[in-house]
Copies of this chain bind each other. A is one copy, B any other.
Amino acid sequence: MEATRWLDERQDHAWRGYRRMRRLLDLELARELTEDAGLSEPDYDVLSDLSETPQGRLRLSELADRMLWSRSRLSHHLTRMQQRGLVAREECPDDARGAIVVLTRAGRNAIEAAAPGHVAAVRQHFLDLLTPAEVEALGAFTHRVVDHLAQSRAPRPRRGPEA
């Protein structure tokens, strides 16, 4: 039973800033995305990940893993996006259980229309406010944290969005 080590002043400052920034940045980016392109952030992420593949198609589970989403969440979300015509499902040739998610023409149009504005917003409200050294540091420590967290997940039964 140790005495709790609370955060010192700098840590507290950093932690509060981080959480507040996240919230405000999310609100602003989501707002612009809906207004300008009629997409939510999750929509954008799905389309963006799909469009980064050569064919605009990915196995559902592969996409879920990349996004760190549960298959269930992705399946539900795809159903909704499918109804809007942004993506389609195809059967998987080599695994009859599988589903392949495909970017439709409309989906590609949507992401191509949305991307420039979104990137501009990310710059305007975030990246451009950082010095090059800060951007460099951000890239360095976030990936360090990601690697650390991936450690605790990959080994053993594999916890995760999957539960």
Contact (Cβ within 8 A) A127 B15: yes
Asked if A142 is at the interface of the complex by the 8 Å CB criterion, the answer is yes
A68 touches B142 (CB 8 A): no
Name A126-163 residues within 8 Å CB distance of B.
126-127, 129-146, 148-150, 152-153, 159-161
Bound Cα distance A20, B115 (Å)? 19
> Which chain B residues border A141 with CB–CB below 8 Å?
129-131, 134, 138
Inter-chain CA distance A111–B64, complex, in Å, is: 34
Listed stretches A24-32, A76-84, A90-98; interface member: A24-32
Give the copy number: 2
Asked whether A137 and B139 contact (CB < 8 A) given A123-B5, A125-B148, A146-B21, the answer is no
A1-19, CB under 8 A of B: which get 1 and which 0?
0001111001101110110
Would A145 and B116 be within 8 Å (CB), given that A27-B161, A68-B23, A138-B17 are in contact? no
B135-A10 in contact (CB<8A): yes
Q: Is the CB of B122 within 8 A of A144?
A: no
A142 touches B5 (CB 8 A): no
Does A106 lie at the interface of the complex (its beta carbon under 8 Å from any beta carbon of B)? Answer: no
